[in-house]
Amino acid sequence: MSLVPTADLVADARAHGRAVGAFNVICLEHAEAIVAGAERAGLPVILQISENAVKFHGGRLAPIAAASVAVARASSAAVSLHLDHVEDDGLLRQAAEHGFGSVMYDASTRPYADNVEATRAAVTWGHERGLWVESELGEVGGKDGAHAPGARTDPGEAAEYVAATGVDGLAVAVGSSHAMLDRSAALDHDLIARLAAAVVIPLVLHGSSGVPDDELRAAVRAGMVKVNIGTALNIAFTGAVRERLGADPKVVDPRKYLAPARDSMTTVVEQALRVLAP
């Protein structure tokens, strides 16, 4: 099936009343696990690489992007590549040359007028290169480690923002928060429905690791079309590594603990994709 455009996966999910799962890649094992989970579920998937992950790789996008593209091309699942939470214009401009089908340009922490202006420029640049462009209005909290579920996106402002920027997908603040270690987030489903009615483009849920399965199902029914999951994979990865190393202090071969870590992430991806595609 190989590498496909994100726009196709989002449109297909929307047409079928489901959401496409977008999972964060940090290392090669993440990409392998995400694609394996998609194959097991028999569903498409989005591999997303965040600006923070690029920083972790010394600021170099090419190696982790090339590895993700290769994993996607070798898969029987439909897989797209997405550049996530991009604040740096220099990084944005690398997206088109490294196999990305989409980018999330994140100006959500800027004042409204600045967010509109910067996002409109990013959308113009992205559309000229055939990219699907997502952006955020309402500032989903937690990226700095703080649990901040209080922010909300206003539907009227969202409609105005979408018209002014020309963006293709909108990340909204509806009760989730990034980097939660437990699944206790309660979403504002009435607000999701009002946002879905107010804007013509697909809605994106960030910080979905902290959202329980029933809440995710309801969010998809109310209009979420792309669901971003990162921390849940790292909880599974790190838990498996900790368990393996704890069980045998003499282990030094990374394959001995990376294999169960990768398997644990695969299970998380498979289960999440099934929840998003009832």
Binding region for ligand G3H (CB under 6 A) = 24, 84-85, 178-180, 206-210, 228-232
Catalytic-residue membership of 84: yes
How far is it, in rounded angstroms, from Cα 222 to Cα 193? 5
Residue 138 binds what, of ligand G3H, Zn ion, none (CB under 5 to 8 Å, by partner type)?
none
**Which residues have CB under 8 Å from 272's CB, separation 6+?**
21, 23, 37, 216, 227, 229, 232
Residue ranges in 183-222 that form contacts with Zn ion under rule CB under 5 A = 206
Q: Is 82 in the site for Zn ion (CB under 5 A)?
A: no
Q: Which is nearer to Zn ion, 209 or 264 (CB)?
A: 209
The one of ligand G3H, Zn ion, none whose footprint includes residue 24, by CB under 5 to 8 A per kind, is ligand G3H
Report in angstroms how near the CB of residue 116 gets to ligand G3H at its nearest: 21
Q: In angstroms, what is the minimal distance from the CB of 24 to Zn ion?
A: 8
Phi-psi region of 135 (alpha: psi -120 to 50; beta: other; left: phi over 0): beta
Binding partner of residue 52 among ligand G3H, Zn ion, none, CB under 5 to 8 Å per kind?
Answer: none
81 binding partner (options ligand G3H, Zn ion, none; Cβ < 5 to 8 Å by kind):
none
By C-beta, is 206 or 226 nearer to Zn ion?
206
Of residues 20 and 241, the one with the C-beta less far from Zn ion: 20
Q: Which of 12, 84, 248, 253 is an active site residue? A: 84
- Characterize the bridge pairing of strands 20-24 and 2-3: unpaired
Answer with the entry of ligand G3H, Zn ion, none that 101 interacts with (C-beta below 5 to 8 A by kind): none
CB of 205 to Zn ion, least distance (A): 9
Residue nearest to Zn ion (CB): 206
Considering the complex, what minimum distance in angstroms separates the CB of residue 33 from Zn ion? 19
Q: Which residues contact 5 (CB under 8 A, 6 or more apart)?
A: 80, 101, 102, 130, 132
Distance CA(82)–CA(50), nearest Å, equals: 8
Residue 143 in tokens: 């990226």
**Smallest gap, in angstroms, from Cβ of residue 178 to ligand G3H?**
4
Looking only at Cα atoms, what is the longest distance across the chain? 59
Tokens standing for residue 167 = 């963006």
Residues 6+ apart with CB under 8 A from 177: 140, 141, 142, 147, 148, 149, 185, 207, 210
Residues lying near Zn ion in the complex (CB under 5 A) are found at 206
Which sequence positions are flagged as catalytic?
84
